[in-house]
């Protein structure tokens, strides 16, 4: 009786996800295999034969992977430092970490446009100090998109890692050191394996968010297309829903593949789970 009651509690959520997510996804994927001539793979063949389309996909993958790697490199030490703080100080630091998420991505993107533009703050400082002779072309490039995405998603990986790191017992680290392990060995053999769940979750959040982001690439990338802006262009501007559905399906497949790869890497790093 209790199990039936639990299942009944799940029913509204399952129905909502089925009607508003699963069915639309199935219909979107299904339309990519049919046209006026019946069943076909023409949409996918046309996408992968076109060098322009493939370059957009590869650029998006490169931007997403670089964003994820940089977020890990920046977020790991920051999360480790925060996890070792006292309760009150930790709460303040986490609040400051989460604060950027409370600001619209549009506002943050316009702020970066002011900072990294040709006449922006960064170029003015570098020109004034004599470090460069001509303004750097950062805005409207993949580099600008990566900068904006790091600002957007870095808090996610920090918060995720802090939640894992604060549960690592200090006595465990001291025990490893007392047995002769160096700081590097303690990190690689104790800390890193225990942080794998947080790293995987954080990496997936950053990668999927970066791969599907629209606002930041649209504002900071300019004419530099990524898969999300390309999807928007075909669906809204060109009204080509067939190509837009193909692009959406490819995004779903790539996301599933990357998540599977990350989970496989996590199992190798931490076989015991």
The CA–CA distances, whole Å, from 211 to 182, 227, 243 equal 38, 8, 18
Among 105, 78, 109, residue whose Cα is nearest residue 94:
78
Backbone angles phi, psi at 239, to 5 degrees: 55, 30
Task: Kindly report, residue by residue over 210-235, the tens digit of the pLDDT.
Answer: 999 999 999 999 888 899 999 998 88
* pLDDT > 90? residue 132: no
- What does the pLDDT read at residue 222? 82
Among 198, 193, 194, 212, residue whose Cα is nearest residue 258:
212
Residue 154's pLDDT band, with cuts at 50, 70 and 90, is very high
Mean pLDDT over each residue of the chain, to the nearest integer: 87
Angle between helices 142-165 and 105-116 (to 10 degrees): 130
Q: CA–CA separation, 56 vs 254, rounded Å?
A: 13
* pLDDT > 80? residue 273: no
* pTM for this model (two decimals): 0.87
Q: Which residues, in sequence order, are bridge partners of residue 38?
A: 35
* pLDDT > 90? residue 145: yes
Domains and CATH numbers, the chain: 48-269 (1.10.3720.10)
- What does the pLDDT read at residue 10? 83
Q: What percent of the chain has pLDDT over 70?
A: 97
Token digits for 219? 């504002």
Task: Kindly report, residue by residue over 62-109, the tens digit of the pLDDT.
Answer: 999 999 999 999 999 899 889 888 888 988 998 888 888 888 888 999
Q: Which of 193-197, 198-202, 231-235, 265-269 comes out lowest in average pLDDT?
A: 265-269
Residue 269's pLDDT band, with cuts at 50, 70 and 90, is low
């Amino acid at each position: 009786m209790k199990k039936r009651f639990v299942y009944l509690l799940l029913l509204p959520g399952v129905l909502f996800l089925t009607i508003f997510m699963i069915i639309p996804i199935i219909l979107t994927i299904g339309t990519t295999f049919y046209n006026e001539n019946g069943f076909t793979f023409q949409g996918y063949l046309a996408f992968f034969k076109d060098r322009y389309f493939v370059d957009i996909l590869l650029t998006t993958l490169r931007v997403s992977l670089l964003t994820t790697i940089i977020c890990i490199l920046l977020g790991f030490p920051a999360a480790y430092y925060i996890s070792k703080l006292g309760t009150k100080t930790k709460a303040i630091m986490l609040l400051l970490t989460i604060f950027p998420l409370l600001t619209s991505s549009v506002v943050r993107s316009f702020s970066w446009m002011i900072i990294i533009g040709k006449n922006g703050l960064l170029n003015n400082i570098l020109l004034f100090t004599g470090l460069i002779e001509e303004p750097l072309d950062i805005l409207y490039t993949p580099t600008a998109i990566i900068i904006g995405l790091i600002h957007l998603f870095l808090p996610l990986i920090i918060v995720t890692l802090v939640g894992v790191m604060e549960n690592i017992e200090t006595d465990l680290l001291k025990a490893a050191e007392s047995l002769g392990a160096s700081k590097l060995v303690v990190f690689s053999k104790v800390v890193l394996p225990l942080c794998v769940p947080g790293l995987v979750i954080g990496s997936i959040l950053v990668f999927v968010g970066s791969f599907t982001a629209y606002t930041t690439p649209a504002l900071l990338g300019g004419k530099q297309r990524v898969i999300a802006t390309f999807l928007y262009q075909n669906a809204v501007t060109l009204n080509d829903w067939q190509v837009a559905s193909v692009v959406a399906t490819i995004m779903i497949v790539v996301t599933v593949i990357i998540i599977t790869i990350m989970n496989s890497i996590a199992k190798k790093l931490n076989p015991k789970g």
